[in-house]
Amino acid sequence: MIADPDSPEGTKEVHVKTWNNTVANLTLMALGSSAPEILLSIIEIVGNGFEAGELGPGTIVGSAAFNLFVITGVCVLSIPSDEGRRINAIKVFAITAFFCVFAYIWLVIILVAITPDFVDLWEAVVTLLFFPLLVNLAYIADKEFCCKSAQVGDAGEENAEFGLGNRGEVSILPASANKQSVVEILKKMGNRPDLTEEDEARIATALISKRTPHSRAWYRINAIRALTSGHKLVPSVNEKQAEILASLEQGEDVGSTVSLGIVPGGGYKAVVEWAAGSTAVLERDGRASLVLLRHGNIDVRVIVRIETVDGTAESGSDYKHIDETLVFMPGQTSKEIHVEIIDDNEYEPDEVFFVRATMDPEEPAIIGNRPICQVTIINDDDPGVFEFSKPSFVFKESAGKALVEVKRLNGCSGKASVMWQTRDRDGKGAAVEGRDYIGGSGELEFQHGELVKTIEIEIIDDQEYEKDEHFDVLLTGCSDGSKLGSLKRTVVTILNDDEFKGVVSRIVNLTNANLDQISVAHSTWGQQFTDAMNVNGGDIEGATKLDYFMHFLTFGWKVVFALVPPAQIWGGWLSFFISLMMIGILTAIIGDLASIFGCLIGLKPTVTAITFVALGTSLPDLFASKTAATQEEHADNSIGNVTGSNSVNVFLGLGLPWTIAAIYWTAKDTTFEVPAGNLSFGVIIYTVCAITTVVILLLRRTLPALGQSELGGPTVPKTVCGIVLMVLWFFYVILSSLQAYEILDAKI
């Protein structure tokens, strides 16, 4: 439990990750992702009467080759040429890269040099013990117990900006949103009239999810669910939300001001409103001329409906009714509307009617702050008296603008103007010009017949919770012939952010609800079956034809694996072991199918293992690594963990079954036989190619011409390196296959 001022109880429950990232990747993650290869080796040996087979070891080496060569090559090519991804935990990578090569050199040593074609018990046990040695050395490197570095990763600073905490071995899982993180995101979005609270929550969810460091397990799970059209771990966003999200990620200003209709890049809706909220006309003038303005996005065609509405003046006797549509063509910013006034030569008091502007919701525009213009029919030749309409005005800080009305009384003949200025007040609660609002001075010009004009003063929305603040607006002078009235000063009050706090609270709740929906661990058994039986886990709106097709193909498997207990039961351990058991059953079936398939098409077990079986077990890693490469700031989760996984494949995938078999044969006073032949040849080819790959990555990291990053960089070097890495895999497969069919006579 931690303190939470936003919770009614004052506290909230959080999940704390206690596993170190490096240790988790090399133990639970490696065991889970490599379980098919490991279990295939164990099942094959036990099923063969504790005699060595070719399918298990071949799959391990073939999977390692695909992981290191193809996945690394794809990740190198997937990064744009103007970007790069470097491995952040370089010390951990150095340890795992060494063992990635040493593990296979060790296989050659024990199969060819020490005890050719046999594996003694001590050799099998030492192979297995290299696994905890690797984990401990990687942990020491990760914690920098030796050769400490003062380097601070950028990811931590970036996450801290959004209130998500720094990257480390203790973090809150799943990702959660608090008011601080949501306020920071809302600040970057600014005032957007085209966004609902649900839109803002979706964008906040997506941004927090992207900014939250994910483990390799997260990417692997998401890749598998994408392949099977399951419940994705990424929030779905529509086209508009995705555009804003991309701008936020690039640090662009995506905010707009409602009252001004400011449209960066022309991407938002236009704003249509009357130039003045009120105007007047002499009855003898015969017509009232009104101006309709369009600002904001002026590059679109907008249709507006104009209609008169009776007040004290009646259509037919005082004016002629209009009901028509106006079209703003691209580039047009104003339209003039004329309403005919009927002069009946009879005495009447001043009368009013209204002209209303409306539009279809589908139009690429919105009606602004002045949707209605009041028209007064008068008979007065005086230029008028100016004063504020009220002694005080109240606006909320989130409104963006203070709209202060100035009235024109006792006449409206001809043009007239009035001067104004703002002034800070003294004492407690005073608003400060430049910090709380953008003040200054200006002049309002009233055209002939205009009765009301508005002073627009920008309010600085710092989106912080603060007390009410005040400042004054003064009328300081007017044009010749006109006068100032008695109300020459008004007080503008900026209210606190109670409404904003309510909005933030609602968006925080919506965001957390969205984050819960994409959480791995927080689902019930019933929810697992619901997600399994629905395409995209129930997100039908975001489903494509391919999603429906893959859902149809994998429906049975998804329902069967929904039987695995949810990860929240017993801290996830029950789910872990039940998953391994089900993977073991599935692996046994796949092993038999692979053998049968190889026999049907005439492939030897070794070739079947390094091609079809290895590809089947490694494809999820390929999609996971590619996604991690494009989304992560560093290359650790894309290629940094491949070397560790390849090492674990040998130490557990061969060390464990060989230890079991060696114990069995030692108990029978004999030695466990493992023919070196094809296995040792393939291992040697892999080792040579693996050393080449590590050298390429080292050169890419150090040479400026290659971009000084493992992934991405300049187009030509990036393309050449990516192709070379994938050619290494074809080289390994072809040579290993030729050796298996004895076309290539290479004696080890």
Percent of the chain past pLDDT 90, that is, above it, reads: 14
The structure's pTM equals 0.59
pLDDT for 156 equals 40
Residue 663 located in a structural domain: yes
The residues, ordered by sequence, that sit 6+ positions from 503 with a Cβ below 8 Å of its Cβ are 197, 398
Q: What is the residue-averaged pLDDT of the chain?
A: 78
Residues 310 and 348 placed together within one structural domain of the fold:
yes
Residues of the chain with pLDDT > 70: what percent? Answer: 77
* Whether the predicted pLDDT of 241 surpasses 50: yes
| Listed residues 352, 379, 406: the one ending a domain | 379
Tell me, yes or no, whether 719 and 614 share the same domain. yes
> In this structure, which amino acid lies at residue 546?
L
Identify the domain containing residue 354 by its residue range: 263-379
* Residue partners of 494: CB distance under 8 A and separation at least 6: 395, 396, 397, 402, 431, 436, 437, 459, 468, 469, 470, 471
pLDDT at position 174, please? Answer: 47
| 541 and 594 in a common domain | no
Tell me how far apart the alpha carbons of residues 263 and 256 are, in angstroms, rounded to a whole number: 6
pLDDT digits 0-9 by tens, 542-558: 677 877 888 788 888 78
Task: State residue 266's pLDDT score.
Answer: 38
In a domain? residue 245: no
126: pLDDT strictly greater than 90: yes
Instruction: Please indicate, yes or no, whether residues 39 and 146 belong to a single structural domain of this protein.
Output: yes
Domain tally, the chain: 3
pLDDT at 166: 37
Q: For residue 374, what is the domain's CATH number?
A: 2.60.40.2030
- Same domain, residue pair 153 and 285: no
**Domain final residue pick, 324, 358, 379:** 379
| Position with higher pLDDT, 245 vs 105 | 105
Query: Maximum distance among all alpha carbons in the chain?
Result: 129
**What pLDDT sits at residue 245?**
73
Question: Which of 345, 379, 413 is at the close of a domain?
Answer: 379
Mark whether 553 and 632 lie in a shared domain.
no
Q: Are residue 273 and residue 151 in the same domain, yes or no?
A: no
What are the residues whose beta carbons fall under 8 Å from the beta carbon of 195, sequence distance 6 or more?
189, 203, 244
- We report the CATH number of the domain holding residue 74 as 1.20.1420.30
Q: Is residue 707 part of a domain?
A: yes
Higher pLDDT, 323 or 616: 323
Is residue 395 a part of any domain in this protein?
Answer: no
Q: What's the confidence (pLDDT) of residue 563?
A: 82
Answer yes or no: do 33 and 153 share one domain. Answer: yes
Q: How many Cβ atoms are within 10 Å of 150's Cβ, its own excluded?
A: 5
In angstroms, the CA 397 to CA 38 distance is 62
pLDDT of residue 12: 55
Are 537 and 531 spatial neighbours (Cβ–Cβ below 8 Å)?
yes
Q: Are residues 291 and 341 in the same domain?
A: yes
Taking 80 as the threshold, does the pLDDT of residue 196 lie above it? no
Q: How confident is the model at residue 649 (pLDDT cuts 50, 70, 90)?
A: confident
Q: What is the pLDDT of residue 133?
A: 93
| Confidence band, pLDDT 50/70/90 cuts, at residue 277 | confident
Residues in CB range of 402: below 8 A, 6 or more apart: 393, 395, 437, 456, 457, 458, 459, 492, 494
Q: How far apart are the first and last CA of the chain?
A: 61
Instruction: Give 626-657 as a DSSP string.
Output: HHHHHHSSSSIIIIITHHHHHHHHHHHHTHHH
Alpha carbons 486 and 472: distance in angstroms, whole number: 16
β-bridge pairing 469-478 and 385-388: unpaired
pLDDT at site 202: 76
**N residues, the chain:** 748
Mean pLDDT lowest for which of 164-173, 352-361, 585-594, 607-616? 164-173
Compare 433 and 190 and report the one with higher pLDDT.
Answer: 433
Q: In whole angstroms, what is the distance from residue 203 CA to residue 184 CA? A: 12
Lowest mean pLDDT among 43-52, 57-66, 88-97, 558-567: 558-567
Using only C-alpha atoms, the chain has a radius of gyration, in whole angstroms, of 36
**Distance from C-alpha of 354 to C-alpha of 372, rounded to nearest angstrom:** 7
pLDDT tens profile 302-314:
999 999 998 888 8
* Least confident window among 17-31, 69-83, 627-641: 17-31
Q: Are 283 and 341 in contact (CB under 8 A)?
A: yes
Dump pLDDT digits (tens) for 465-513: 556 788 999 999 988 878 888 888 898 888 766 555 566 666 676 676 6
The per-residue pLDDT for 170 is: 34
Residue 615 lies in a domain: yes
Q: Please report which confidence band the pLDDT of residue 105 belongs to, taking 50, 70 and 90 as the band edges.
A: very high
The answer to whether 279 and 373 have CB atoms below 8 angstroms apart is yes
Stretch 278-299: mean pLDDT: 83
Assess if residue 510 is contained within a domain. no
Of 182, 99, 160, 179, give the one whose Cα is nearest residue 135: 99
Those residues whose C-beta lies under 8 Å from the C-beta of residue 697, and which sit 6 or more positions away, are 72, 639, 710
CB 134 within 8 A of CB 647: yes
When pLDDT is averaged across residues 185-198 and rounded to a whole number, the result is: 66
- The region of weakest confidence among 2-11, 47-56, 79-88, 410-419 is 2-11
pLDDT tens-digit map of 520-541: 655 677 777 887 788 877 677 6
For 22, residues 6+ apart whose C-beta sits below 8 A from its C-beta are 89, 92, 138, 139, 141, 142
Residue 193 lies in a domain: no
Mean pLDDT of 633-646: 80
Q: What band does 645 get if pLDDT is binned at 50, 70 and 90?
A: confident
318 pLDDT above the threshold of 70: yes
Judgement on whether residues 628 and 725 belong to the same structural domain of the protein = yes
Residue in the block written with tokens 């004009």: 453
The tens digit of pLDDT for each residue in 166-188 reads 333 333 344 556 666 676 777 66
What is the pairing mode between strands 385-388 and 483-484? parallel
Confidence at residue 579, expressed as pLDDT on a 0 to 100 scale? 79
Question: 632 and 554, same structural domain?
Answer: no
Side-chain half-sphere CA neighbours of 373 within 13 A: 31
Q: 132 and 36 in one domain?
A: yes
Does residue 414 fall inside a structural domain? no
